[in-house]
Chain A
Amino acid sequence: MIKKILIVDDSPIARKMLKSCLPKDREYEFHEAGNGLEGVNQYKELEPDITFMDLTMPVMTGYEAIEEIIKIDTKAMIIVVTADVQMSAIKTVLDSGAFMVLRKPIKKDQILGALDKAMDTKEKGAQV
């Protein structure tokens, strides 16, 4: 089954970098948003399997977007991909319901590991 992936980041290059790190031998349907608000709106419309979320963005930050998405779907699988790796930032987003935090610049093996873990957790959750 094709998995829907939503990438929320204000930087087009960061979105491109992330997409390039995803395994090519699997089928994904990619969707992109340039700020937190667009991300929340696309989440409502698409119900993606996995959402990659930046934190420092215009219009609506990733912190706010995560809170909004979790209000819509408490089981949302949100992987934060951020340059802001302060402990306080990591704690805030994990407390808000993000699944995992990855530090920029991202690496292929990191993304693959996070994706597999998130998919696995989502599937186990669906079976319960």
Chain B
Amino acid sequence: MSEQATDILSSDEVDTLQEIMNIAFGQSASDLSEVIDTHVVLSIPFIEFVKVTELHTYIQQHVKEYSKISIVEQKYWGKFKGDALLIFASGAGRELILLLKNDEQGSLEAGSAEILESETLLEVGNILIGACVGKLAELLNDIVTYTPPMVLVEEDARNAVPANKFDPDQTAIILKTDFNFEQGGATGFLFLVTKNESVVWLKKALQLFLEQYE
């Protein structure tokens, strides 16, 4: 299903993008850990190219161990543009509420459990996505703007990302990292789905980034 990343980017460009993602995910973990006061454990970032028509199946394969998932989605655009999808395993919202409550006694007390869960996921999603995409853009000398984040809480994992969600003519660059929290059992992963119209710019930006280190 997936194309070899090196069919679209050279192996040096893939390595560079992977290292930049590593830095960007590291920044987002650092920002979030300050808010929830627990260490965020990240996996090594993974890059893959997928036809957008197959993205629905691709994402389903990556969430197949969960029957329910929550998703925070935020679109971003600059020269680098796409969709950030932060996918949490079932129960993550409640775990995160407990972590946040340690720091913000009382401020999360009001409202129903569902609203609280939704707001918590939105807040955590906004921090993770903003720091990650923002750092990525900064390193590649771009400025991005974002739509407000949207959240789907405890959805059926098979239907949470509809097949017709993305433009079928595009190829998606999947930039994925798994994360979990040292305290509490919340786990999930972050996908950046970037349209192939960003590829020409991305190749040039990666080249410029590398030139600093020639």
Query: A interface vs B, CB < 8 Å?
Result: 10-14, 16-17, 20-21, 56-58, 82-89, 104-105
Contacts and interface: CB of A to CB of B under 8 A. Distances in A.
B183 to A, nearest CB: 10
A56 B44 contact: yes
Interface of B: 12, 15-16, 18-19, 22-27, 29-30, 33-34, 38-40, 42-44, 139, 182, 210, 213-214
B13 to A, nearest CB: 9
A86 B22 contact: no
A15 B131 CA distance: 24
Nearest to A54: B22
20 contacts: A11-B18, A12-B15, A13-B15, A13-B16, A16-B213, A17-B213, A20-B213, A20-B214, A56-B43, A57-B44, A82-B26, A83-B22, A83-B23, A84-B30, A84-B42, A85-B30, A86-B33, A86-B34, A86-B39, A87-B33
Contact of A84 (B26, B139, B182): B26
Contacts of B12: 13
Contacts of B29: 84, 86
Contacts of A84: 26, 29-30, 42
A11 B15 contact: yes
Q: Which 9 pairs of residues, A with B, have the shortest CB-CB distance?
A: A83-B26, A88-B39, A20-B213, A13-B15, A86-B33, A17-B213, A83-B23, A11-B19, A83-B22
B186 to A, nearest CB: 16
Given A13-B15, A20-B213, 15 more contacts: A11-B15, A17-B19, A57-B44, A83-B23, A83-B26, A84-B26, A84-B29, A84-B42, A85-B26, A85-B27, A86-B29, A86-B39, A86-B40, A104-B26, A105-B23
Contact of B22 (A11, A21, A88): A11
A21 B26 contact: no
Contacts of B25: 83
A40 B16 CA distance: 25
A58 B19 CA distance: 14
Contacts of A87: 33-34
Contacts of B39: 86, 88-89
A88 B23 contact: no
A104 B212 CA distance: 14
Contacts of B44: 10, 56-58
Contacts of A56: 22, 26, 42-44
B17 to A, nearest CB: 9
Contacts of A17: 19, 213
